[in-house]
Structure 1
């Protein structure tokens, strides 16, 4: 065996050693679980009433800007999904199968080690590799897209480190970009071993997580409280602590990090072709409709023009309510705002995605209750913060000028007041983000230069940031542990757009 293959990378033996299996647990272990009714039936009914309010009516997928857009390019939604699949895997298939978070085993190592990309490495899973490069799939076609590849597949099934990264067309093709990023890093560093290339890929990825992704979704005031002289400081972690190795907190995995569900658009345009403006799910009345659902070979013409998802080039902002304007078809799409409104397709998930309940909002709320999470107000007080008032917890779209079709419902008016002073943690964190808006620069031309964008605040942002930082500080081979002053050779402003450009073969080599 070549020395470039011989050593299994750190973290890839997660399924073999019990010491490398992180476990789910709690940050706020001493808080009382929130109750939303005198019995299970009433609780589920009350949570269903809240979930109904959290699923809002949105326009069908369209070209051009709309009022619900944030200043965050759309790819960050699916980068966040990719990150989630990297750091956690919950094997429980039923909400009621296991209600004790200490009994949930996270079979993914709780660290930013890209095991969803590398699997168990070329020694254990050679079918993922061609030498020390990762295998690519069939060439993809797409109008205006010169170079794209599907994932490697066998009978339609993706051969990748984590099959969840094929669950929709966007995260699937982003996984393909990650394969290409690694392969180009091999080409640019052809004298290095697999392990050395892998570390470089991980460092660039972790750098983007820390210096680009976190600042997009978490308010700057929260992140600044975790720094000393401009750098993240382990001693500033006040809530997320572990004895031997990092664990996966349910407050993070079941509540705070589910922010991305509110960022999802009803659909996305993939490329120039007229039939490539696709909904996230098929219309229930037309199950054969073309949509972004995954777990299958990528259909013809579906290659993504990444300039529609991330600012790798300059795009016109688009013209509202002018569907035939050609600039609208080519524009950079933005994630929806982090708020307490999910697009209506997420209220009616297709049977092949989920059922009983089919509402993603209700699934999240029931999951939080089943795992006995405290209320948002209780967590805020435990963090020595003044909780949001009931009047500040608004259920609905965080648009600048709500119209008659944009109801703004105060939490205390739902389900006969059962949520007054007692908001489920996930909902509270989304409402807090809506209340903590920042002025974000729009990376496009022809439109506004900035836009108000909700970001995670002192409860949700602190949980997410501390878990991200804590996992990296707890990993002896991470960027923060090995070389906290490290930056890509192209400069400290390296961001997700640069990561994508490099994977596409653009820009200078990375070493």
Structure 2
């Protein structure tokens, strides 16, 4: 494939990765980006066909049906909507985003980018080492640190109730009072929404909490940093990936992951992701498979149980009560302070109760407002707010009380507007010459999903088989599905069989399918296994100080804020 010489900067959603436009052709090279299936041809699609698919993949706005709640009412017995995934709490969506920002971290200045236009030769290799958090360290970025600890921002509250949560440290230019207060962190993308912003802050507090532990009282900054990195790597391998890819697949790749064993025992069994010395980021992963998380985004989230309304945190409006929006917020919206848009200060009352995002102290089994909110299912439908990404949309300042229609802009026309995330993903795959999903499935020795079973819609048992087929959009999609779409379609196709025949119906947990799951799992496992500083290399039988063998993301966050191990 002829390289595309267009230069891209890092963008939060669906954008390019500098240097990825000129990937190496070998699957065993040393470098930053490459291809696993380099022999496969690029799938050919027209831009119009992809935009039609994107429009169909974007759910309609909730405001169309005035009689329907924008979100299910949070009664005490309410645990799951049909669109929700019983197997994955919502926090994993944003932990996945946090991982993405770590492995695509770019420390180069604009001057370096000018001197290194392709961004390939002089880049460090990608690792799960929290460079998005640590930046270049206290010696080079002292404004992020106080001695061995991270600098933290203002205290946050659950409405008026004090919490241990803190905002990110921020700087406001005193000579430009109208500008946003920018976060002083290692990667600005970790402030792109309120949830990933507070998750980043929790990891800053994890570092600071370990500094204060008696067990590490004599530890250097570098030793604490290693502990935090190893905890992070451990939960990626043993918590995040089993949720996303399925425990069975992770056990197949790492049969000794939770057992004591030799270094040889602990070595992952990678079938397709191979590298010579240092691992790289496969384009099949970054451009397609790892974008599964976009389908997990919920339209609406509850941050804590103390918030009662949006316009007024102490009282919900009549419409908020009727539409299920009491104390809950759209992930993105067209009105400031009524959505979880980022890159600036948010209200002090918006402290996140992480038991609403991870299963902490049994919250995964609770109902109503105290439940751990599930992520949405991994399927071929994206919620409507992802049709108008805030960085490409106009955000208004309106005086409350506000209606739902005012908060949620009219749906973006994906045929003409680059703000639609599905369109950006599909066009990105086209520009990068991604093979079809069917070709990669065959290359992996997997059965190809028949065209008449590739659907576009929500993974709901009673609806999916009635949804339009991919080939109904265009016959050009016959045996030629875009890779990102196929990863999502494979997940819902595998799930539907289990849901119909396993007795759980829509409560059947949904993970990635065999192709998408293996690309994601082998890439992340390979990045850790190929890092000479990772715990798999240094001490493969190491167990976390926080949570031990059963450590999870939720346990790390809970410990960071409360000290509870």
Q: TM-score when scaled to structure 2?
A: 0.75
Q: Secondary structure in 1 aligned to 2:157?
A: coil
2:240 match = 213
TM-superposed CA distance for 1:230, in Å, is: 5.5
The answer to whether structure 1 residue 411 and structure 2 residue 470 are counterparts is: yes
Q: Which residue of 1 aligns with 2:158?
A: 142
1:28 aligns with 2:37: yes
Partner of 1:273: 307
8 Å contact 2:461–2:505 — kept in the other structure?
Answer: no
Deviation at 1:244, TM superposition (A): 3.1
Q: Distance in 1 between matches of 2:271 and 2:121?
A: 25
The within-5 A match list for 1:305-320 is: 305-315=353-363
From 198, 202, 227, the equivalent of 1:200 is: 227
- The verdict on how the C-alpha distance between 1:495 and 1:401 changes in structure 2, with shifts beyond 3 A counting, is same
| Counterpart Cα distance in 2 of 1:164 and 1:230 | 31
Corresponding residue for 1:392?
A: 453
> 1:496/1:230 Cα in 2 relative to 1: closer, same or farther (>3 Å)?
closer
Q: 2:198 matched to 1:173?
A: yes
**Residue 462 (structure 1) aligns with:** 518
Change (3 A) 1:177 1:412: same
Aligned mate of 2:485, from 427, 439, 443: 427
Q: In the alignment, is the contact (CA less than 8 A) between 1:24 and 1:103 conserved in 2?
A: no
Partner secondary structure for residue 394 of structure 1: coil
> What is aligned with 1:262?
295
Cα deviation per residue 1:12-61 (whole Å; 9 max; x = unaligned)? xxxxxxxxx9522111111100001xxxxxx1100011111111236434
Match of 1:336 among 371, 376, 381: 376
Q: Quote how far apart the aligned CAs of 1:91 are.
A: 10
Measure, in 1, the Cα distance between the counterparts of 2:121 and 2:156.
37
Change (3 A) 1:106 1:467: farther
Q: Check the 8 A contact 1:68/1:336 in 2, yes or no.
A: yes
Verify: 1:402 aligned to 2:463, yes or no: yes
Q: Separation in 1 of the partners of 2:273 and 2:136?
A: 28
SS in 2 for 1:357: coil
Task: Report the Cα distance in structure 2 between the residues aligned to 1:353 and 1:483, rounded to whole angstroms.
Answer: 48
CA distance in 2, matches of 1:102, 1:249: 17
Worse-superposed segment, 254-263 or 493-502: 493-502
Match for residue 360 of structure 1 among 416, 421, 424: 421
What is the match of residue 297 of structure 1? Answer: 345
The alpha-carbon distance between structure 1 residues 213 and 282, as it changes in their structure 2 partners (threshold 3 A), is: same
- Shift in CA distance, 454/315, structure 1 to aligned 2, threshold 3 Å: closer
- Change in CA separation of 1:240 and 1:277 when aligned onto 2, cut-off 3 Å: same
Q: TM-score, normalised by structure 1?
A: 0.83
> Could you say what secondary structure the match of 2:549 adopts?
coil
Where do 5+ consecutive residues of structure 1 fail to align?
1-20, 37-42, 93-100, 319-326, 441-447
1:84 maps to what in 2? 100
Output aligned runs, 1:179-190, within 5 Å. 179-188=204-213, 189-190=216-217
Judged with a 3 Å threshold, the aligned counterparts in structure 2 of structure 1 residues 249 and 53 are, in CA distance, closer, same or farther, namely same
C-alpha displacement at 1:220, in angstroms? 3.1
Distance in 2 of aligned mates of 1:157 and 1:377: 44
Shift of 1:288: 3.9
State the alpha-carbon separation in 2 of the partners of residues 108 and 502 from structure 1. Answer: 32
Q: Classify 1:235/1:493 alpha carbon distance in 2 versus 1 (closer, same or farther; 3 Å).
A: closer
Against the structure 1 CA distance between its residues 145 and 317, is the aligned structure 2 distance closer, same or farther, given a 3 Å change threshold? Answer: farther
Q: CA RMSD in A?
A: 2.8
Is 1:69–2:84 an aligned residue pair? yes
Paired residues of 1:479 and 1:486 also in contact (CA < 8 A)? yes
1:237 corresponds to which residue? 270
Residue 353 of structure 1 and its aligned partner are, at CA, apart by: 6.3
Question: Aligned pair 1:191/2:218, yes or no?
Answer: yes
1:153 corresponding residue in structure 2:
170
Please, which moves more after superposition, 469-478 or 351-360?
Answer: 351-360
How big is the shift at 1:122?
Answer: 0.8
Kept in 2, the 8 Å contact 1:88–1:106? The answer is no
State the secondary structure of the residue aligned to 2:548.
coil
